[in-house]
Amino acid sequence: MKRIIKLILLLLLIPIGTFAQTEELSLSNKAIRKSRPTYIGITMGFSSSKYRDFATSPLFYSGAPIYFGASRHRLDEKKETHVGISLSSGSYSNEYNRHTAESSVQVLSGYYSQLFKLNKLSSDKLNVKAGGLFTTTANLRINESLQNNALGIELIPTLFGSIKLTKDISRKEEKQKKFIFIKYRLKERTRNLSFNLNIGLLNSSLRNGFAYAGQSSILNDAKLFDRYEFKMFSGFRMSSALDYTISLSNKNKVQLSYLWDAYKTGGELDQFNMIMHTFKITLLFNTNNK
C-alpha cells in the first residue's frame, strides 16, 4: 500500500517538475530577449540606379537618387531581427536621338527579416546566420514625355531566403603608430564586417498591362489601379548588402553599407526591370537601459 501511495505521489510531482522547468526555461528566454541589444537606425545615402519599362518604352532610364531610411534592429550572436522602411527619390533621364526625356521616380520599401545562428558553420571569428526576409517595394514614376501613359505604379512583394556572414575584425589591444614624425594611438575598437545575400523564393507583382491603358478615365470614373493584375510566382529578384560596423564608446554604432538590389516582373512584352546600387551611412542608437 505504501508503495502505491509513493507511486501516485511521484506521478503527481512529475508534471509539477516539468512545469517548473518549462517556466524556468521560458523566463530564461524572456530574459535573453530583454538583454538582446536593440538599436534605432537613421540612414542617409545615394544610389546609382537604372530601370526599363517595356510596357511603355524599351529605353533605359538612369539616375542618382537620394536615399533615406529608418529601422529597428534587435541582434546578438544567436539571433537578429530587422524591420524598417526606406525611400529613394530622384530624377532619371534618357537621351536618344538628340531627345532627352526625364522621369521622376520614388521607390518606397518596407521590410522585415529574422536570422538565426548556424552553430555548425560558425566559429569564434565567423558568425553564420540564415533566415528569411520579406520586402514590399512600391515604384511611382511620372514621365511627361509618355503623355497619356505618364503615370506608372508597381507594387512588388518578395519573400527571400537569406544567409549572412559576419567577421569579427575588432582591435583587441591599443596600438602605437607613427606617420613620418607624428605619433598617434589606436584604441581598442569593436568592429565587424558582414555580407548578406538574399535570393527571392516567392516573387510577385501588382502591375498594369501594356501601356497602362485602362478604361476608367474614358467612362468618367477614374481609378488608380484600373485593370491591375496581381501575379504570384512570377519574376525574379536578388539583393545583397555589405556592411562595415563600428561600435562607439557610448554603445551606439556607425555602419557604412553598400546595397545591391535587382529585380524584374514576370510577363513577356510588359516586363519592368530595375537595378539599384546604394551607398549609405547609418547611425545606430542603442535603446537598452544598460
Of the candidates 254, 246, 259, 242, the one whose C-alpha atom is nearest the C-alpha of residue 195 is: 242
19 or 57: which leads in pLDDT: 57
Q: SS3 of 145, please?
A: helix
CB 280 within 8 A of CB 257: yes
The separation between CA 149 and the C-alpha centre of its own chain, rounded to angstroms, equals 31
| Cell numbers describing residue 284 | 545606430
Question: Could you identify the residue written with the cell 519573400?
Answer: 159
The mean per-residue pLDDT over the stretch 187-196 comes to: 88
- pLDDT bin (cut points 50, 70, 90) of residue 198 is very high
Query: What is the reported pLDDT for 16?
Result: 37
The mean per-residue pLDDT over the stretch 259-276 comes to: 91
What percentage of the chain has pLDDT greater than the value 90? 55
CB 257 within 8 A of CB 284: no
For 112-160, write each residue's pLDDT tens digit. 999 999 999 999 889 999 999 999 999 999 998 888 778 888 999 999 9
Query: What is the reported pLDDT for 180?
Result: 73
Instruction: Decide if pLDDT at 26 tops 70.
Output: no
Query: What is the reported pLDDT for 7?
Result: 42
199 to 111, 202, 277: CA distances (angstroms): 14, 9, 17
Query: What is the reported pLDDT for 145?
Result: 85
Domain 38-286: which topology?
Answer: Lipocalin (2.40.128)
Lowest mean pLDDT among 64-68, 193-197, 209-213: 209-213
164: amino acid identity, one letter: K
Query: What is the reported pLDDT for 186?
Result: 65
Q: Where is mean pLDDT largest: 55-59, 78-82, 177-181, 285-289?
A: 78-82
| Cell numbers describing residue 42 | 537613421
Query: What is the reported pLDDT for 229?
Result: 85
Compute how many other C-beta atoms are within 10 angstroms of the C-beta atom of residue 71: 17
Instruction: Decide if pLDDT at 22 tops 90.
Output: no
Query: What is the reported pLDDT for 23?
Result: 44
Dist CA 171 CA 41 (whole Å)? 24
Average pLDDT in the chain: 84
| Cell numbers describing residue 274 | 530595375
CB 88 within 8 A of CB 276: yes
The mean per-residue pLDDT over the stretch 21-48 comes to: 75
Q: What are phi and psi of 288, to 5 degrees?
A: -70, 150
pTM metric for this prediction:
0.82
Query: What is the reported pLDDT for 146?
Result: 83
- pLDDT bin (cut points 50, 70, 90) of residue 32 is low
Query: What is the reported pLDDT for 203?
Result: 96
